Structure 1
């Protein structure tokens, strides 16, 4: 007795975990879509590292103006410090130099310039020049204060009116050349060393702050 005819079964495709048919390789077989219709990105070595953040840029103009302002204010404060430490009651005025004041002034100027200007070595040099000019003007204005106070004391000891003595501003602005000659005669090696410490401190402070 003959067997009933049966339709041959089609070969089944191998199944992947999850019930999806395995992709066929080779020519003529379209790429099977991933579940959800989106192809997942692949990276050979994981996710790429994030780009480094750009270094903050300083404000050059603001740094110069602020450094100049701090230098001028520091010069006036340094001058009053010299006047406060001077002895004008004797036969000749005696001025005591304070080296750490110049270092503090230079460090403050360098800090302000680097804080506002960033890692700009040109600004560090400008800050050092500001510090040197500030300590020089502070020295001269300090001598003007001492000379004015000393002249007033001499006039009072002679029975005159000490209020008629020239002020420090008169000596500084109207007799700057004579004041400079007086300072130059009194200056020595220690004076120039103290002055050199101010710009060195300014540059060092700016360099240290910018490298943090």
Structure 2
């Protein structure tokens, strides 16, 4: 019997995705289309400007007025204590640190209670100037009263003689007191008075910007 003989088939090489005889190519990046970009948080917002501590302007002004009055009286007492009233004429010693101390006191109070408020610093400077001016004049009134009292004792005046007090000179004879103060004042006197508002603003500025 004869059988149909068939030629055995040759084994075929495995087919590769890239085509016969070529290795598969890695995928190429796509250009022109949307690409994945690294994601960021969009940046941090700029820091907010520092805000000064808020205070109570009304309370600060009220406390600064009290501090100015107390500082002016202390200035007057110190001026009177440093004066020489035993001679033929009273001699008053001027000093700069008292005005600086009064201004620093007013500036400290108004910045401590009023916060970082430049308008209040100006108010403090005016109050400090008024306090030192008041201290100068009331101090001169105290010096005048002390000198008159010493002169009356040396002259042997009877105790019934009415010797004017510092309040009498300040309130009843303010014009004469002011004229005498102007005549006795010099460049240093006005310079020391001017140091008071400068000290008030400087103290308030440093304290308010902490």
Q: Give, in whole Å, the separation in 2 of the partners of 1:121 and 1:186.
A: 35
Match of 2:57 among 50, 57, 60: 60
Deviation sequence 1:47-84 (CA, Å, 0-9, x none):
x88x9696531100001000010000100010000010
Match of 1:203 among 177, 201, 204: 201
Match of 2:137 among 127, 136, 140: 140
Are 1:94 and 2:120 an aligned pair?
no
Shift, 1:98, TM fit: 1.6
Q: What is residue 71 of structure 2 aligned with on the other side? A: 74
TM-score (norm 2): 0.75
Q: Give, in whole Å, the separation in 2 of the partners of 1:65 and 1:73.
A: 13
Task: From the CA coordinates, give the structure whose radius of gyration is larger.
Answer: 2
Q: Give, in whole Å, the separation in 2 of the partners of 1:189 and 1:56.
A: 39
TM-score (norm 1): 0.74
**Mind listing any 5+ residue stretches in structure 2 that lack a counterpart?**
1-38
**Mind listing any 5+ residue stretches in structure 1 that lack a counterpart?**
1-42
Q: Give, in whole Å, the separation in 1 of the partners of 2:85 and 2:198.
A: 32
Are 1:110 and 2:107 an aligned pair?
yes
Runs of 4+ in 1 over 6 A off after TM superposition: 51-54
Q: How many residues align?
A: 169
Q: Give, in whole Å, the separation in 2 of the partners of 1:83 and 1:56.
A: 40
Q: CA RMSD for the aligned pairs? A: 2.1
Q: What is residue 168 of structure 1 aligned with on the other side? A: 166
Q: Give, in whole Å, the separation in 1 of the partners of 2:124 and 2:131.
A: 10
